[in-house]
Homo-oligomer: A and B are copies of this chain.
Amino acid sequence: MEKTIIKNKSNQNWEDFFKLDLDRKMDFYEKDGKIYDCLFAQQLSKELLESLFDIADKLRKTTKTKEGADFIASLLSHKKAMLYFAQPSTRTFLSFLNACHILGMKTSEIRDSSTSSEVKGESHDDTVRTFSSYVDLIIMRHPAPGSAERTAWLLNNTNRPIPVLNAGSGKDQHPTQALLDIYTLHRQFKGHIDGKRIVMVGDLKRGRTVRSLSYLMKNYKNISIDFVSPKEFKMEQDILDFLKAHNIPYTETEDFASVMPKADAIYMTRIQDEHDASGESKKVDYSPFYFKEEHLKMIKSSCILLHPLPRRFEIDAKVDNDERAVYWRQERNGMWIRAALIAYIFGIENKIK
């Protein structure tokens, strides 16, 4: 991957480029017909998803033996990754870190911007360019919307670009979360997502996971979606319009119980009060959107229960032991699918049997 220059360097300034529709700038983040920077859920085509599912399945199978694990850990032993997490995160951080370790990558971490040179007045651009000087991959999480894309854009305009993976930028994009969600549906449904009825519950307005997952549904046939939320936190119109445009039927309701029996998968989310402008979360009774132990008898025996975690009270801990509760597996799927994504980005997927 060394010394290859992205073909179409942007001649525009960032502000103009950033405003472009995603499909007009997508190929700026690709190389040789593959994604180079993973920034948006919209980059996850059905074909790519199928490839990644296959790589992830092989990774977990091969690493079951010591011999296999050592082999996989030899594949990227010559590569170094930087995990730049300017925003608190346990799960995504550990998931990516251990994905890197599975592949044998050496890792550096910046998890607290107070220890960084930004305190000396360095620009964000210079900071990430510095990171890129020492490593072969940047995995970044940052509170500013568009920050991961900005980093990728910046580096692609230099003579030494390296891939950038978006581990959450602001509240807009978190593509590997979408990836692990869809991978979980894929695994639990044994490859047959087509025809399923998906119920999404909670703070749909501000939860990026449900937005991304809705978007990815376009890749499958005969999907239907039920959105269950307090009226204050309904799914945004842009997603509803998207579903209409792709002929994906959906309903909206505040009555969780009414859709429980029909669900093939229930995707629970927590209230996103970190995005409150002025305490609006506290004015909403969220309890009708909890999944409680007594609900287990209301759902199908084949229905699966997902949650991006962390949870608060949306799912009673007593539910955890039910075999339909797959959120802990979902979490672990995140590590494997991220390892698969990294393997894909570095073009070593064919070495994984």
A350 contacts the other chain (Cβ, under 8 Å)?
no
Contact B78 A117 (CB under 8 A): no
Q: Which one of A88-96, A212-220, A237-245 is at the interface?
A: A88-96
Q: Which one of A43-51, A106-114, A298-306 is at the interface?
A: A106-114
Instruction: List the number of copies, as a whole number.
Output: 3
Cβ contacts A53-68/B at 8 Å (1 or 0 each)? 0000000000110100
A294 contacts the other chain (Cβ, under 8 Å)?
no
Chain B residues with CB below 8 A from A70, complex form: 74, 77-78
Chain B residues with CB below 8 A from A332, complex form: 133-134
Contact A106 B98 (CB under 8 A): yes
Task: Tell me the bound Cα distance from A337 to B135 in angstroms.
Answer: 16
Contact B64 A73 (CB under 8 A): no
Closest to A64 in B: B2
A interface residues, how many (CB within 8 angstroms): 60
- Please, could you name 24 A-B residue pairs with CB atoms under 8 Å apart, sorted by A? A63-B78, A69-B78, A70-B78, A82-B94, A89-B115, A89-B117, A90-B110, A90-B118, A90-B130, A91-B117, A98-B135, A101-B106, A101-B108, A117-B310, A120-B310, A121-B310, A122-B310, A122-B312, A123-B317, A126-B317, A130-B310, A133-B331, A133-B335, A134-B335
Show the binding face of A for B, using Cβ within 8 Å: 2, 63-64, 66, 69-70, 73-74, 77-78, 80, 82, 85, 88-91, 94-95, 97-98, 101, 106, 108, 110-112, 114-123, 125-127, 129-131, 133-135, 158, 160, 270, 274, 309-312, 317, 320, 328, 331-332, 335
> Lowest 5 A-B CB distances belong to which pairs?
A69-B78, A122-B310, A101-B106, A90-B117, A98-B134
